[in-house]
Amino acid sequence: MFNGKSILVTGGTGSFGKKFIKVLLEKYKPKKVIVYSRDELKQFEMQQVFNDECMRYFIGDVRDEKRLARAMEGVDYAVHAAALKQVPAAEYNPMECIKTNVQGAQNVIDAAIACNVQKVIALSTDKAANPVNLYGATKLCSDKLFSAANNLVGARPTRFAVVRYGNVVGSRGSVVPFFRKLIAEGAKELPITDPRMTRFWLRLEDGVEFVLKNFQRMQGGEIFIPKIPSMRITDLCEAIAPGVPTKIIGIRPGEKLHEVMCPADLYYDTLEFPDHFVIKPAAPMLGVDYAKNALGEEGRPVSDGFAYDSGSNPHFLTVEELREMNP
């Protein structure tokens, strides 16, 4: 699907972007891969590793629609991974988060339509479902923008979809590198917000594969949600630092005990497939049957009041499984 095609990744120097491009170059022979991001140092460092002839590095901000439109000229597929995602920072700097995560999303949409990009997938987060913090609220807005954008394209070929998933193992700014740093510095205890806390848990490579697959599945407007395991924060601590005691510091502003990916309030728009869920768009495209995707896979409506949350997930990782996922 990606052989001979041009692919753009906003936020391409982040954890997801680098892994996505690595897999893309290993499995396909793209015509061009464009990294679109703000940080020249991260781009310089990335160039030392990803220096294939097809690689292009564009310095630009998703807040800049003109620069985005220039970068998207001739692009076939785009992944929107750029975001401000640190929950405390978003609470303290709300308008900056809105400019990047909401206005930036609309700029990506407008540039993609103007440049006749074929397919765009935007990355979302479990924090966008029933959001209680500003970051989650901006990502919900972004999800809604991308889902509704399919009704703006007219006769143009561009289609938009969203991929929503949970915490990524070892991603930049996540809890695993933080815990490891504390242990390396000789910490005698690990700080946790609440011992009851659970999270969805996903390996980065699995997230990348899910996004790649959904380029084939998408018809326009869907929110794709993978079926992935949950973990307990106490089990994660035991996996990383066996026998080290924990210290309860209390839930941070904007944090939940359990994360949600399919809200119960949207059960009537949720479809279950063998390895994933789909939330149908509030304004569906005419003539599209979301119960059967572009690959011919068939889904079925979930039961009344169904919710997919990390606390009631039927699949929890054991301490040993967590240890294997966090080598």
Catalytic residues: 127
* CB within 8 Å of 123: residues ≥ 6 apart: 16, 79, 80, 81, 83, 162, 163, 211
| Structure token digits, residue 9 | 């990744």
CA distances from 41 to 15, 21, 71, 85 (A): 15, 18, 19, 20
Distance, in Å, from the CA atom of 307 to the CA atom of 309, rounded to the nearest integer, reads 6
Say how many C-beta atoms besides its own lie within 10 A of residue 189's C-beta.
Answer: 12
The per-residue b/e assignment along 278-310, b for 16 or more CB within 10 angstroms, e otherwise, is bbbbeebbeebebeebeeebebeebeeebbbbb
Q: Is the separation of the CB atoms in 277 and 302 below 8 Å?
A: yes
| Structure token digits, residue 35 | 């990294």
Distance, in Å, from the CA atom of 231 to the CA atom of 235, rounded to the nearest integer, reads 7
Give the orientation angle of helix 104-114 with respect to helix 134-148, to 10 degrees: 20
Give the CB-side neighbour count of residue 312, counting CA atoms within 13 A: 9
Give the orientation angle of helix 204-217 with respect to helix 15-27, to 10 degrees: 60
| Structure token digits, residue 157 | 């070929």
Distance, in Å, from the CA atom of 31 to the CA atom of 262, rounded to the nearest integer, reads 36
Residue type, 9: V
